[in-house]
Amino acid sequence: MDSEGLKWCLILQLLLPHCFLETRIQDKKFALSGSNVSLQISNLPKNYLRLTWFYTTNQKILEWETNQPTPNYYKTKFKDRVTLDLQNGTLHIYDVQEEDSSTYILKVTLPSTFEEEWSFPLQVFDPVPKPDITIEKTQEMNNRCYLILSCSARNQSVNYTWYGDSGPISEGLQGGVLNITVIPQNSSKFYRCEASNPVSQNNDTVYFIPPCKLARSSGVAWIPMWLMVMVPTILGLLLI
């Protein structure tokens, strides 16, 4: 804070119980539901008088007066799921759930009655369920195969990525729908849909059988090739 801002802050102390310095925003943190999360800063002020953690701007999780032996844990949904590290002010949250997503706030009261403040954006995600590929259309025409495949993960807000033999597919995509024209030069042995959020992913796969069929099992996809190799061999043995 510059000298002019500090001067006004000192004046405001006569009118307000505390004077706030600039709020510092920490990097957003992502967590998987059921995991444990630690919210911390690396430069906790020394010789502070009070430390308070908030779930929202007006809902306190805990408060610790440094002249008291233990923190005061408020009767909230966090009461039995949080602990405070008295050495560095870190808030440990256990078994986080999706509804725990919020911007947490740490306020530290200094001997001068200034208050320093940090905010911690946290977003909790449930694991991505296995998505399901639906075969909307397969049509063979003029030595080309037209495929429309849709992919969805139940009750989830996720990102979808499609893969083939050569890696991610970037063309013919609209959300979880893949609309692709397959010719012998660009055919793939499989088409995989990956559904993901920042902390987890899951996938489903269908296998391509030329000229224009899809199967759920890789074993089915390899039957035609197996027959092409084995049938001539068996016939040759019978003719000996």
Q: What is the pLDDT of residues 201-214, one digit of tens each?
A: 999 999 999 999 99
pLDDT of residue 35: 98
Asked whether the domain spanning 132-211 has the same topology as the one spanning 17-125, the reply is yes
Q: Which residues sit opposite 125 in a β-bridge?
A: 32
Residue pair 195/156 in contact (Cβ under 8 Å)? The answer is yes
Domain ranges (residues) in the chain: 17-125, 132-211
pLDDT of residue 19: 66
pLDDT of residue 109: 95
HSE (side-chain half, CA atoms, 13 Å) at 116: 17
Residue 142 and residue 165: Cα distance in Å, rounded? 23
Please, what sign has the CA dihedral across residues 16, 18, 19, 23?
Answer: negative
Residue pair 118/104 in contact (Cβ under 8 Å)? The answer is no
Assign 195 to helix, strand or coil. strand
Assign 124 to helix, strand or coil. strand
Domain 132-211: give its CATH superfamily.
Immunoglobulins (2.60.40.10)
- pLDDT tens by residue, 89-134: 999 999 999 999 999 999 999 998 789 999 999 999 999 999 999 9
Residue pair 144/134 in contact (Cβ under 8 Å)? The answer is no
pLDDT of residue 21: 63
Predicted TM-score (pTM) above 0.85: no
Please name the residue ranges forming H helices in the chain: 3-12, 218-238
pLDDT of residue 171: 83
pLDDT of residue 135: 96
The amino acid at 43: N
The alpha carbon torsion through 223, 228, 229, 232 (nearest 10 deg) reads 130
Quote the tokens at residue 58.
């007006």
Q: Which residues sit opposite 179 in a β-bridge?
A: 148
Helices and strands (DSSP H and E) totals, the chain:
2, 20
For residue 16, pLDDT over 90 is answered with: no
Higher pLDDT, 233 or 99: 99
Residue 198 and residue 127: Cα distance in Å, rounded? 10
pLDDT of residue 173: 86
Q: What angle do CA 14, 19, 20 make, to 5 degrees?
A: 165
First to last CA, the chain: 95
CATH domain 17-125 topology: Immunoglobulin-like (2.60.40)
